[in-house]
């Protein structure tokens, strides 16, 4: 890992641990109750459709940047086999373990930077599932797609369901006013920003967000040897940050789903 990436990764990890402390107070207690329900699921209509197409039942699933693991617990409750979540934050890994225990399902959580996922996991999964707010914290997308590809078995799929990178051109607070170039390469730097779930609480620390063009995302998957199977853009927001954009008459795409297969 080069020094610059080390610095970005260290700062982002500290910010995510501070965020985990906020979420432990703001949202974890309710979530611990919700996951205990046998029908607990975070899947929306896109995830239900894609997982039906892939046949989630009996499949081994990895989720890099799994946060508190609620989506991976949903996979397990929907019949997935071995489920492993990877996240850089100690705080969120601990919450994932607590949520798995409360939900009564067996899900493994590993604290690691995605770039350092141990090679023991190579070719261990049928599905690599990546959701909302994962890619922007990662500086090197081609290397990341290489990690995804090595985790997949031949025939396995990357299912990426993310916020649309065009949103990086706007400021959620000021709506459709273009603030940044779509071709921006320098990271967005944020200091002491409000938490995205508990907006009354400020999360201390500096964080770095990296804009990745859609062509870099698709090109990264293709470059890692994956074959594109599905690509869709949606007018719904998954992030909550851009929820107001759903009400605009003229709106940019707010989210997308990409399915790519390892041959």
Ligand X SMILES: C[S@@+](CC[C@H](N)C(=O)[O-])C[C@H]1O[C@@H](n2cnc3c(N)ncnc32)[C@H](O)[C@@H]1O
Q: Which residues bind ligand X (CB under 6 A)?
A: 9, 12, 16, 65, 67-68, 71, 87-89, 92, 113-114, 131-134, 137-138
Q: How far is the CB of 200 from ligand X (least distance, A)?
A: 19
Report DSSP letters for 122-180, one per residue.
TT-EEEEEEESSSGGG-S-HHHHHHHHHHHEEEEEEEEEEEE-GGGGGSBGGGBT---S
Residue 20 to residue 23: CA distance in whole angstroms: 5
For ligand X, the closer CB: 239 or 261? 239
For 194, the enclosing helix (H) or strand (E) is strand 188-194
Residue number with the smallest Cβ distance to ligand X: 133
Q: How far is the CB of 263 from ligand X (least distance, A)?
A: 26
For ligand X, the closer CB: 5 or 153? 5
For ligand X, the closer CB: 137 or 242? 137
Cα 220 to chain centroid distance, Å, stands at 16
For ligand X, the closer CB: 99 or 152? 99
Q: How far is the CB of 249 from ligand X (least distance, A)?
A: 28
Q: How far is the CB of 194 from ligand X (least distance, A)?
A: 14
Residue 173 to residue 165: CA distance in whole angstroms: 17
| Contacts (Cβ under 8 Å, ≥6 apart) of 107 | 69, 72, 73, 76, 83, 84, 85, 96, 100
Residue 5 to residue 159: CA distance in whole angstroms: 26
Q: How far is the CB of 88 from ligand X (least distance, A)?
A: 4
For ligand X, the closer CB: 111 or 229? 111
Q: Are strands 188-194 and 152-163 parallel, antiparallel or unpaired?
A: unpaired
């Amino acid at each position: 890992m080069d020094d610059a990436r080390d610095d970005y990764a260290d700062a982002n990890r500290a910010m995510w641990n501070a965020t985990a402390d906020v979420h432990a107070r703001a949202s974890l207690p309710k979530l611990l109750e919700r996951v205990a329900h046998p029908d607990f699921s975070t899947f929306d209509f896109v995830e239900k459709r894609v997982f039906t197409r892939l046949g989630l039942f009996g499949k081994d699933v990895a989720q890099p940047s799994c946060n508190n693991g609620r989506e991976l617990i949903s996979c397990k409750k929907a019949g997935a086999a071995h489920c492993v979540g990877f996240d850089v934050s100690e705080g969120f890994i601990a919450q994932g373990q607590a949520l798995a225990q409360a939900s009564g399902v067996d899900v493994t959580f590993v604290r690691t930077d995605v770039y350092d996922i141990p090679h023991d996991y190579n070719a261990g999964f049928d599905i690599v599932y990546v959701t909302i707010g994962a890619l922007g914290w990662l500086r090197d997308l081609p290397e990341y797609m290489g990690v995804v590809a090595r985790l997949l078995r031949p025939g396995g799929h990357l299912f990426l369901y993310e916020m649309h990178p065009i949103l990086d051109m706007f400021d959620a607070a000021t709506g459709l006013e273009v603030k940044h170039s779509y071709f921006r390469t320098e990271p967005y730097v944020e200091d002491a920003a409000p938490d995205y779930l508990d907006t009354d609480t400020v999360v201390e620390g500096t964080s770095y967000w990296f804009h990745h063009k859609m062509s870099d995302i698709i090109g990264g998957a293709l470059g890692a040897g994956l074959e594109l199977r599905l690509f869709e853009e949606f007018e719904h927001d998954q992030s909550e940050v851009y929820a107001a954009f759903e009400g605009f008459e003229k709106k940019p795409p707010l989210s997308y789903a990409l399915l790519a297969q390892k041959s």
